[in-house]
Amino acid sequence: RQGYEDFHWQYPAGSYGDDYAYQRHQWQPVTWQGDGDLRQGEPYGKSTNYRDQHYYRGYHPNLATTPLGQDRTHTYDSSKERYVSAAHPEWAGGKPLSNDSGEDSGQPQEPSLLLQYRESGLSSSSHELSQYIHDSADHYDPMLSGTWSLAQVGGPLVSTPAPVVPLKFSLPHMAMCFGAGGQLVLVCPHSPAEGQLAHVELHSLEVILHKTKELEELQAFPGPLAREDLHKVDVITFCQQKIATSCDLSTQRGRDSSLLWKLLVLLCRQNGSMVGSDAAELLMQDGRCQEKYKRQNPAANLIGLTDDELMSRQPGTLDLITGEVPPVVETQAQIVEKFTKLLYYGRKKDALVWAMRNHLWGHALFLSSKMDPRTYSWVLTGFTSTLATNDPLQTLFQLMSGRIPQAALCCGDATWGDWRPHLAVLLSNKVGDRELNHRAIVTMGDTLAGKGAVEAAHFCYLMADIPFGYFGVKGGRMALLGSNHRQAFAQFARTEVIQRTEIFEYCQQLQQPKSFLLPFQVIYKLLYASRLADYGLPAQALQYCEQIATVLLDQEPASHPVLAQQLMKLAERLKLSDPLLLEMPEQDQTLEPDWLVQLRACCQKWEVR
């Protein structure tokens, strides 16, 4: 680096033409030669030597703290003899050892496997590789790592140098892993080489996670719901408990979530069948949606009068047509009597205006229907103008007029009011155009979904029979019941919404036993089975695997190869958790269930194909 001087660069580099393998064989990384350069005696062109010297300098404090130029002879005087004897055994024992080195055979010695990996750059730590690769050139004997002399061993001895990197684990430690059977396996830090007994502990995850929210949520669900011993009363009880415990009725979202659970209860009780009036009754159960909608006076321009004319015709002024002064407060009979008198004189237009101004809409509509269509449309518009904008009657009249109601485009706002009365009107009053009714309900669901009311939107989609889609697909409207499929997957695939979707699938199977939600089988049931295994419920997870396999075998497993393979892997790990194995003879406990054998055969056929 600029501004710093490296003394090693002052040495001339070795010849490029030297034999690389032979020089590497000749080099001894532990030979210390007093206060000379660490790499004296070998060409400087070896970057590996320079790296190993820095390894040595980093892990030997005496070497690291001794300045360059200082005499290291007194520092490593006692160690010099040990290292020299290790590097040049012919000096220590009086005669060289016989070997098959490059000097004897005339060919360069093949470098060790560890050295090849280390020089290739595959690992930054030679010690990490030494934990897995051992050969004759890199063998390490822990008895030779301490201080020793020739007198201790009684003769010449050859040893490899001590490792230049510290041990990965300096102290005994505990190893841990998770078992497929819902167990936590702990290997205690005992050393059998020192006479200690090996100790392995098995702990149940169900016991460890006892009273946690996630485990209680999994245990409370009566799944899988396709088993024969399940009664629908258990499902209804679970839904009612969810309404009581997890739905905050003081918030709009809590009321919408409660509405979805109530819909599932209704479907379960009626074996999956439902008509529009049933859903409308469910929508109107909550007293919060019983709002009062203010009536308005018809606009003056709609009844063909200016503001001055409207003021001149207020009670208490002279009526120029009849010549009478009407009373300040008119009764219903008096209003009808004047409507009749206007017709005596043939003043139909004035009679319509009088009826509209005094809210005799039945008289006005009947009279205008017997006149021309333009007059009828004018009276009808005047009648609808008296209704509040968010009145459900407006929604019904607009739908009956062949238009998408304004409520389907504006619901969900705080100023608009509750969306449920408008949907109840749409569900209970089917118009002649079924496609228009369907589009109005779907539009209302899209509007609610765009404003974050996911549960309310999914209720609309269920009423319109919108199919379930997949996560991440932009064109899909729902993937799991009550969850937004456009958010992160961890937030989307919550346990509660998976359980709610499975209940809806169960309600459909009560009406059609062979029906199922294929997107739900592909991802979420397998994910739910994995969660059961993670929380120490392997037997229940295996039952889910069997159900998914049954659906796939009835279809074509090759259409979902990834699902089939992942399901087979999970089932093979969980197959020994089957409670039926406890009742089998010991010689039959190695048998696999038929569905797993068939699933494996289908996967193998698909791979061959």
Q: What is the pLDDT of residues 91-119, one digit of tens each?
A: 444 444 444 444 444 445 555 555 554 55
- Per-residue pLDDT tens for 210-268? 889 999 999 999 989 987 788 999 999 999 999 999 888 888 899 999 999 999 999 99
Q: Mention every residue, 6+ apart, whose C-beta is less than 8 A from residue 224.
A: 502, 540, 543, 544, 547
Residue extents of the structural domains in the chain: 175-189+197-209, 214-290+387-516, 521-608
Q: Mention every residue, 6+ apart, whose C-beta is less than 8 A from residue 203.
A: 183, 184, 185, 186
pLDDT score at 456: 94
pLDDT of residue 541 exceeding 90, the answer is yes
The segment with the largest mean pLDDT, out of 62-71, 267-276, 320-329, is 267-276
Lowest mean pLDDT among 119-133, 260-274, 293-307: 119-133
Q: For residues 476 and 304, which has the higher predicted lDDT (pLDDT)?
A: 476
DSSP 287: G
CA distances from 489 to 105, 110, 287, 467, 525 (A): 65, 53, 36, 20, 15
pLDDT score at 545: 93
What share of the chain has pLDDT > 70, as a percent?
A: 64
Q: Tokens 């209940």 identify what position?
A: 503
Bridge-partner residues for 202, per DSSP? Answer: 185
Range 55-63 average pLDDT:
43
Q: For residues 317 and 68, which has the higher predicted lDDT (pLDDT)?
A: 317
Do residues 530 and 566 make contact, with C-beta atoms less than 8 angstroms apart?
no
Do residues 293 and 390 make contact, with C-beta atoms less than 8 angstroms apart?
yes
Confidence of residue 562 (pLDDT cuts 50, 70, 90): confident
pTM over 0.75: no
